[in-house]
Each structure stands twice: as C-alpha cells, then as structure tokens.
C-alpha cells in the first residue's frame, strides 16, 4: 500500500449499486409459467457514483431518510453486497453489527453461540477462550449463559450478540441501527464501551436515525441523499441542515396531499415539480446563509489550517482530561491589517460557551499582520470533562472588528478514568480530621 494511503481505513471509490424491484414476482415455477406478466420489475439505483475516504480512528455517522442507501453502503463495506461499479477498500479486521445475532443457533447455549459467532469474526478458539469471561460479564447473562438461546428474551439475545461483536479487537467496527440494546443502564454501558473502543483508535461507522446518538460519539457525520453525499462535516452542522431540510420537505408533502385531494392528479403533478424545485432552491440558500453565520468577517486575513494535538507535534483530537493540548492556526494575509487580535473560544456540543480569551485580554503588545503566518496557543491542562467540544478561533482588529471568526473550526473529544461530573475539572485537594487526628 502506498504510504499516502496508510492513513485510510476505508476508501469508497465511484461506487454505484442498484436493485431490481419486482411488481409481483411468482413464488413457484408453476406461478411463473402461468403468470409470466407478473415478472415485471424496475431498476432502482440506490447509490450513484459515490466516493468517500474514512481515516483510521475516525468515528463516522451515516444519516438520511429511509431508503437513501445508508445500510446498503454499510453492507458494501462488509462485503455482504458487492457494487455494480466502483470499488471499496477496507483495511484491517472488520466487526459488523448489522443484524444482531445473525449466526446464533437457537438450540445451542449462549456459551456455545459465543464460540460460533466469534469464530465468524475471525477469532481462534484460544482467542475466544481468553475473551470468554469478559464477553459473558459484559452481557450480564452469567445466570443464563448455558441455557439455549431460544429461551432468551429479545433483549438478552441482543445483549449477548453485542457483547461478542465489541470484544473481537476489530480495526473497523460497522454498526447499523442497533444501539438501543437492553435497558437504559445497559445502553449507557454500551456507549461507554464504544467510547473506549474509539479512544483505542478503532475506526467506527454508525448508521442511525438517532441524531443524538451520532452526536454523542461521532466526530464526523455524512448525510446520504438521493444516492449521493449531500453534506459531510461536524455532526451538529450537518444535522442542523438535515433537520431543516426534512422539516420543510414534510411541509411540502403535507401541502401536496391537501391539494391532491381537491384537484386532479394530472394538474397537481405539474405544480408539484415546480414547487419542489423552488422550495429546495430556497432551502439551499437558507443552508448557505446558515453556514455563513458560523464563519464571518471581512476576510482581509483568513484562517487556512488548524492543527490540534499534543506538544510533540502529533495530531490527536481525542485526549485525556488534564493532558496538555496545542493548537496552531495558520493564516493567509490578503490585505495587511493593523492592531490585530487573535482569539480562541471553546463550546460544549449543546452550544454552551465554556471558555474564551484573546491576545487583547492577555495584554499582548500590539502587532500588525502583513504576511502569511501562524499563531499558537497551548493549554497546559485541558480540564474539560469527558465529552465533545467545539473549538473556534478568530482574527479581529481594533475594537473587536471581525476579520475571520470561525466558530466551528475543530472538534475535541475528551475521556477520563475519573467519574467526576460537570463541564470542567478543578484542581483540588482533600483534608479532614477526626477526634483531633488530622488525616
């Protein structure tokens, strides 16, 4: 593999996939001979020349309305399906949770099915032996593990399958609409496990209609629409556009139903096409304006690149609470500006402003921007508690005149071994005394 491709876990190159949709296909040979006309079908293209790259360690959410091609794309990545054209490269061991328990035998015990199912993912018997206790413990089915799985409830069945799939040390984990596993406590446990898998550098691709689930774990969201990629970026930004689009589309369809009940279908069809085109154009313009509101300014100077990582120069946007983090912001100068000010702002995923400062607040000596360059800020202890944070940067001049405000410049994910609560960890010590004895 060429060196420049080693960073990619999955590469989708110009992939198209279609299916034959039969109107009324005969089930038996006799029916097919007697009713030949029923074998009529039409071709439905689900994916149209789609291309995307997923880097190692990225956690991607795939969203879109029913039938847009999300699950088909995931099945192509697992090689359950094959593309009509194009190619897909997946590097490393793959674990997929497309249909929980596919491969479980109802007459075998839970323990026996662990061995069968884990072997499907490529584990040897010795590897399964080493992981067996961890899988059973995670599923919380110790009392029932030697019972036939046909006696399991659907929740028990799904918990066992999930426990197997996430304990195979996969390089790539593919998940399709299965995160509602078990009760609330077990769901929280599953999300914590996924966070741990994510922090270990596993590439994860999730298909879900739950945007909150995607926002809680993914650092990138891809909106599939009409067989192609409609948007690709920060989950919050993509989801805002998606929800706006779907809301407006529902309004359009609702109005169409009303009109069709009061007018002939032929007359409505012509109006429908023109109305949808006009409304979608307006939505696209609204989306463009919303994107502009997330980055604004006169742009005499522009931020061109963001580096975020450790002090040794490694780009890493998943860090432990309390570790240092370094940001370097490259900028281009088109028109020199005087009395420049650099700034940083940190926001929670829900939009709450957590922290901000700039060189004016820090009493920097006044400076001008005349040539391209960069500025750096190091946070010695990044004490934001576990979660996802949006980091923005700004260039302004004079009394706060915006040149380039980029509110959603990058995303930082934090994790911790400590279970304190809130938004920020405060450095502290504890002391107490008892019966005159200091502790």
Whichever domain contains 153, its CATH number is 1.10.8.100
Residue 400, domain member (yes or no): yes
Residues 275 and 385 placed together within one structural domain of the fold:
no
Residues 45 and 176 placed together within one structural domain of the fold:
yes
Q: What is the CATH number of the domain that holds 381?
A: 2.70.50.60
Residues 117 and 249 placed together within one structural domain of the fold:
no
Q: What is the pLDDT of residue 34?
A: 60
Residues 323 and 375 placed together within one structural domain of the fold:
yes
Q: What is the pLDDT of residue 436?
A: 61
Q: Are the C-beta atoms of 173 and 9 separated by less than 8 Å?
A: no
What's the domain range around 140? 99-160
Alpha helices in 166-234 (DSSP H): 184-199, 211-217
Angstrom distance (rounded) from CA 218 to CA 197: 12
Residues 204 and 222 placed together within one structural domain of the fold:
yes
What three-state secondary structure class fits 173? strand
Angstrom distance (rounded) from CA 302 to CA 405: 9
> Distances from the Cα of 149 to the Cαs of 117, 180, 261, in angstroms?
13, 20, 51
Angstrom distance (rounded) from CA 343 to CA 169: 41
Residue 250, domain member (yes or no): yes
Closest listed residue to residue 72, CA positions, set 21, 121, 18, 117 = 18
Q: Which two tokens stand for residue 132?
A: 């067996």
The pTM for the full model equals: 0.56
Q: What is the CATH number of the domain that holds 217?
A: 3.40.50.300
Q: Are the C-beta atoms of 109 and 149 separated by less than 8 Å?
A: yes
The count of structural domains within the chain is 4
Q: Are the C-beta atoms of 190 and 160 separated by less than 8 Å?
A: no
Q: Which two tokens stand for residue 155?
A: 């929740």
Q: What is the pLDDT of residue 2?
A: 46
Q: What is the pLDDT of residue 1?
A: 41
Question: End-to-end CA distance of the chain, in Å?
Answer: 60
Residues 30 and 88 placed together within one structural domain of the fold:
yes
Residues 226 and 360 placed together within one structural domain of the fold:
no
Listed in sequence order, the residues at least 6 apart from 383 whose beta carbon sits closer than 8 Å to its beta carbon are 321, 322, 424, 425, 426, 427
Angstrom distance (rounded) from CA 90 to CA 74: 11
Residues 250 and 113 placed together within one structural domain of the fold:
no
Q: Are the C-beta atoms of 279 and 380 separated by less than 8 Å?
A: no
Q: What is the pLDDT along the chain (439 residues), one digit of tens a residue?
A: 444 567 899 999 999 998 877 665 555 666 666 656 556 667 888 999 999 999 999 999 999 988 888 989 999 998 888 999 999 999 988 888 776 556 688 899 999 999 988 888 788 899 999 999 999 999 889 999 999 999 988 788 888 888 888 888 888 998 887 665 567 777 788 888 888 889 889 999 999 888 888 888 899 999 999 889 999 999 988 999 998 888 888 888 877 777 776 676 667 777 777 777 777 777 766 655 655 567 888 899 999 999 999 888 888 889 899 999 999 999 999 999 999 999 999 998 888 889 999 999 999 999 999 999 999 999 999 999 998 999 999 999 988 899 999 988 999 999 988 888 888 888 888 888 887 655 5
Residue 428, domain member (yes or no): no
Phi, psi at residue 26, to the nearest 5°?
Answer: -65, 140
Residues 193 and 127 placed together within one structural domain of the fold:
no
3-state DSSP percent of the chain in helix, strand and coil, to 5: 35, 35, 35
């Amino acid at each position: 593999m060429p060196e420049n491709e080693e960073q990619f876990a999955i590469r989708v190159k110009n992939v198209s996939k279609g299916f034959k949709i039969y109107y009324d296909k005969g089930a038996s040979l006799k029916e097919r001979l007697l009713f030949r006309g029923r074998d009529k079908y039409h071709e439905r293209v689900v994916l149209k020349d789609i291309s995307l790259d997923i880097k190692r360690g990225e956690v991607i959410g795939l969203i879109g309305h029913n039938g847009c091609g999300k699950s088909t794309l995931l099945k192509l990545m697992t090689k359950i399906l094959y593309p009509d054209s194009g190619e897909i490269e997946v590097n490393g061991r793959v674990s997929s949770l497309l249909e929980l328990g596919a491969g479980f035998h109802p007459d075998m015990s839970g323990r026996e099915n662990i061995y069968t199912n884990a072997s499907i993912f490529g584990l040897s018997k010795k590897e399964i032996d080493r992981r067996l206790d961890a899988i059973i413990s995670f599923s919380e089915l110790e009392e029932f593990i030697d019972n036939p799985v046909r006696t399991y409830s659907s929740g028990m069945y799904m918990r066992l399958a999930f426990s197997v799939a996430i304990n195979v040390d996969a390089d790539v984990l593919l998940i399709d609409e299965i995160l509602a596993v078990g009760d609330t406590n077990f769901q929280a446990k599953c999300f914590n496990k996924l966070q741990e898998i994510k922090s270990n550098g596993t590439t994860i691709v999730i298909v879900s209609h739950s945007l909150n689930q995607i926002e809680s774990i993914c650092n990138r969201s891809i909106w599939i629409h009409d067989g192609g990629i409609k948007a690709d970026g920060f989950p919050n930004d993509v989801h805002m556009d998606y929800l706006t689009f779907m809301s407006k589309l529902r309004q359009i369809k609702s109005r169409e139903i009303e009109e069709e009940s009061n007018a002939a279908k032929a007359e409505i069809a012509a109006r429908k096409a023109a109305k949808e085109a006009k409304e979608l154009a307006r939505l696209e313009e609204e989306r463009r304006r919303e994107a502009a509101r997330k980055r604004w300014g006169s742009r005499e100077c522009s931020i061109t690149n963001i580096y975020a990582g450790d002090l040794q120069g490694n780009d890493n946007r998943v860090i432990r609470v309390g570790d240092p983090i370094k940001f370097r912001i490259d900028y281009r100068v088109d028109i020199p500006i005087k009395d420049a000010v650099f700034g940083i702002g940190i926001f929670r995923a829900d939009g709450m402003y957590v922290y901000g400062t700039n060189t004016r607040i820090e009493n920097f000596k006044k400076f001008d921007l005349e040539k391209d360059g960069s500025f750096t800020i190091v946070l010695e202890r990044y004490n934001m508690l576990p979660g996802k944070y949006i980091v923005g940067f700004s260039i302004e001049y004079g009394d706060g005149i915006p040149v380039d405000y980029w509110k959603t410049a990058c995303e930082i994910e934090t994790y911790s071994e400590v279970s304190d609560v809130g938004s920020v960890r405060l450095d502290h010590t504890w002391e107490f005394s008892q019966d005159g004895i200091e502790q």
